[in-house]
Structure 1
Amino acid sequence: MKAMVLTGADKPFELQDVEKPALNADEVLVQVKAAALNRRDYWITIGQYAGIKYPSILGSDGAGTVAEAATDVDQSWIGKEVLINPSHDWGEHPEYQAKDFKILGLPENGTLAQYVKVKTKYLHPKPSHLTFEQAAAIPLAGLTAYRALFTKGRAKAGDKVLVVGAGSGTGTFAIQFAKAAGCQVFVTSGSGEKIERARHLGASAGVNYKAQDWAEELKHMAGGFDVIIDSALGKDFNKVVGLCNPGARIVFFGGTAGNIPELDARPLFWKQIQIIGTTMGTAEDFAAMLNLVNQHKIVPVIDEVFPLADTKKAIDKMGSSSQFGKLVITI
């Protein structure tokens, strides 16, 4: 089969012929129709991720058709159009992942290939209103955004939600999910064009975080926020805390702008603000996220679609952070 293989640190992907995966018990072989990239893939390609091994086939997101099934698997899976949950071996505790938790695409070979093997418990029917490309855009970012908003952030109808960094895959899902749940959504971005696109997704308004007074402007627009979804952190985090309503939840799953600076902790306890970390999600989170997508016929935002051979171009675009929404790879 054809696959994009990462052969070493700072080496470009190579389109190679590799052996088709051999199935173990309770596994199926999915013929991948489309995959999608995540920031995780970018960090791996530049050698800045834990547990990197070579050679590796990356890719956590994928949608396709079941081509083969192990002998102990219900053979009716064959031919079904499926979506893959990339959150593997979460463990028994819903609040945090187990020590054995892993994400599809490292250390296990992932979806940037014609075939990928997956345990049946990680398969879900592809939403019927979506193409393979649209469905492939969902898994990792959709799961992360859903858990941040609802499981950890406890967002509900009527809440004011701020999404910091509107252009990422998780950011666009957070806007769509919060809007579907009846929240009023505001955004920040370093691009006026991305703010305008966020408005078309359902955001009420947004501000450019490059402006000195961006937090004051948001405060004037919204008054304050009940849930803030942040994947940046960095030097402006104190301003984010200042935007919180009493009892607000700040949920973060990344730190692309750096660590949290020295904080004035008094507002945290006086206003009973929670700062909550999250990563990926449980099988229950994934099923609930897909239910929301199906119920509201949510269509993921796709920035650009690339053929498998042009995966390096897609990775480079992700590195520039110029995209709005997901970068999808057709297989």
Structure 2
Amino acid sequence: MKTEAMVIRETGGPEVLKRETIEIAEPGPRQVLVRVKAVALNHIDVWVRRGLPHVKYDFPHRFGSDIAGEVEALGPGATGCTVGQKVVISPGVSCGVCAKCLAGRDNLCQKYNILGETTQGGYAQHVVVPDANILPYPGDLPFTDAAAIPLAFLTAWQMVVECAQVAPGDTVLVQAAGSGVSTAAIQIAKLYGARVIGTAGSDEKLERARALGMDIGINYSTTDFVPEVRKITEKRGVDAVIEHVGGDVFVKSILATRWGGCVVTCGATMGHSPTIDLRHIFFRQVRVLGSTMGSKGVLQRIMPFFSQGKLRPVVDRVLPLWSAVEAHRVLEERKAFGKVVLAVD
């Protein structure tokens, strides 16, 4: 079948995104055809667009990990949803039969793919996904809000809850508090009873982060966050750092952590080759944990928090899908607080 999409046929700047009519396959066994209503951006879209050595591009390539829409057709044997149902799509695709998948840890599957990265995504009017990736719709949220949930909240939940094991009374430092993952991490850390310190590059972003529950803000463009954190914590340091910035921020995050605390990282937007003094890790027994996404089961458990009002997606702006070039520029220039979402007509 044919559908309209925003695609790339080469890597490069935002201008390589083009509107095209493309052919997509009908849903096969245990697959679902979804009419896309909204798709949210992630930094992974930018990285893949610029070019990544581990990605084998199947041009025309479509970005888009975070998708909300309506079921339009079911492939043979597909279960768990009905035609016309409003759905959100889980962004991780795995084999479903290996030991990790069967143990509910599908994000550790050796055949794990992320929609829009190593497989085709949702920058289109239609997308075909496995029925295992269909999630219940979160209450009466608009599609543009629902699309802002999956990747950011799944990633943040694994970092805060599964990796850092944040508990009541902990102090958590969330870096780059205006990003999608960080706005989710602030809310989840507060849900678990932590005190949250956040960093951002502007006072405006810090004010918006406070509205999400952040207790203390540090403007990293005017203040060195390491001595400030030590002052706030009476020289103790924080129990956990949630970060995806990399570079010098990752190095300094280790210094801001207490003895026996942890730094959890899920990205490297500002550099993937930091120079680390290992003495600050082994002598102070700081744990450094890597995190990618989370399991489908975790995302299933998260979704009810949105219909209950305990968590909420943070949308900076909504643009038409056909304005994806502009949306990518907004993300690259770090002008957004929360998610940039594309509405699909």
Q: TM-score range by the shorter chain?
A: over 0.9
Aligned 1:174-323 pairs, distance under 5 A: 174-211=185-222, 213-223=224-234, 224-259=237-272, 261-323=274-336
**2:72 is matched by which residue type in structure 1?**
A
* Match among 81, 85, 88 for residue 83 of structure 1: 88
Cross-structure match for 1:2 = 4
From 22, 46, 49, give the equivalent of 1:45: 49
1:128 corresponds to which letter in structure 2?
Answer: G
Report the counterpart of residue 19 of structure 1 in structure 2.
23
Shift in CA distance, 127/75, structure 1 to aligned 2, threshold 3 Å? closer
- Deviations along 1:32-69, one digit per CA (max 9) or x if unpaired, are 11110100111122224631332112111100111100
For 1:77, what is the secondary structure of its paired residue? coil
TM-superposed CA distance for 1:210, in Å, is 2.5
C-alpha separation in 2, matches of 1:285 and 1:211: 38
Offset at residue 20 of structure 1 (A)? 4.3
1:330 Cα deviation after fit: 0.4
Residues 235, 260 of structure 1: 8 Å contact kept: no
- CA spacing shift, 1:287–1:49, aligned 2, 3 Å: farther
Q: How does 1:140-155 map to 2 (within 5 A)?
A: 140-155=151-166
Residue of structure 1 in register with 2:64 after alignment: 59
Encode CA deviations 1:2-36: one digit per residue, 9 max, x unaligned.
11111212252121122243111001111111110
How far off its partner does 1:256 sit? Answer: 1.8
Gaps of 5+ in 2: none
Distance in structure 2 (CA, Å) of the matches to 1:248 and 1:317 = 35
1:264, distance to aligned residue in structure 2 (A): 3.5
Name the SS of the counterpart of 1:65 in structure 2. Answer: strand
Distance 1:65 1:43, change over 3 A: same
Q: Give CA deviations for 1:157-212 in whole Å, capped at 9, x if unaligned.
A: 22111101111110111111111222111101111211111111110111122235
* Separation in 2, partners of 1:286, 1:201: 20
Q: Aligned residue for 1:72?
A: 77
CA 22–183 in structure 1, closer or farther in 2 if over 3 Å, else same: same
Deviations for 1:54-110, whole angstroms, at most 9, x for unmatched residues?
Answer: 211211110011110013224852111111001111753339622211001233321
Please give the alpha-carbon distance, in whole angstroms, between the structure 1 residues aligned to 2:59 and 2:40.
Answer: 21
Aligned partner of residue 259 in structure 2, secondary structure: strand
**Which one-letter code corresponds to 2:29 in the other structure?**
A
Change (3 A) 1:221 1:95: farther
Shift, 1:134, TM fit:
0.5
Query: Does the aligned pair in 2 maintain the 1:129–1:297 contact within 8 Å?
Result: no
- 8 Å CA contact 1:235–1:259 kept in 2: the answer is no
Shift of 1:236: 4.1
Q: Deviations over 1:288-323 (max 9, x none)?
A: 332443444422110110011111100111111111
Report if the CA contact (8 A) 2:106-2:296 is conserved: no
CA contact (8 A) 1:164 1:187 kept: yes
In structure 2, the CA distance between the partners of 1:54 and 1:76, relative to structure 1 (3 Å rule), is closer
Q: Distance in 2 between matches of 1:108 and 1:268?
A: 37
CA contact (8 A) 2:81 2:134 kept: no
Q: 1:206 touches 1:218 (CA, 8 Å); kept in 2?
A: no
* SS of alignment partner, residue 118 of structure 2: coil
Counterpart amino acid of residue 60 in structure 1: S
Amino acid at match of 1:98: C
Code of the residue aligned with 2:86 in structure 1: it is E
Residue aligned with 2:211, SS: helix
Identity, % of aligned positions: 35
Q: Distance in 2 between matches of 1:104 and 1:95?
A: 14
Partners of 1:294 and 1:228 in 2: CA distance? 28
Counterpart Cα distance in 2 of 1:75 and 1:235: 45
**Greater CA drift, 30-39 or 93-102:** 93-102
CA offset digits 1:235-254 (Å, max 9, x no partner): 24343222212321110011
- Equivalent residues of 2:238, 2:257 under 8 A apart: yes
CA contact (8 A) 1:130 1:299 kept: no
Residues 240 and 144 of structure 1, relative CA distance in 2, 3 Å threshold: same
> 2: distance between equivalents of 1:281 and 1:171?
15
Query: Is 1:57–1:110's contact at 8 Å kept on the other side of the alignment?
Result: yes
**Matched AA of 2:316:** D
How many pairs were matched up?
331
Which deviates further from its counterpart, 214-223 or 71-80?
71-80
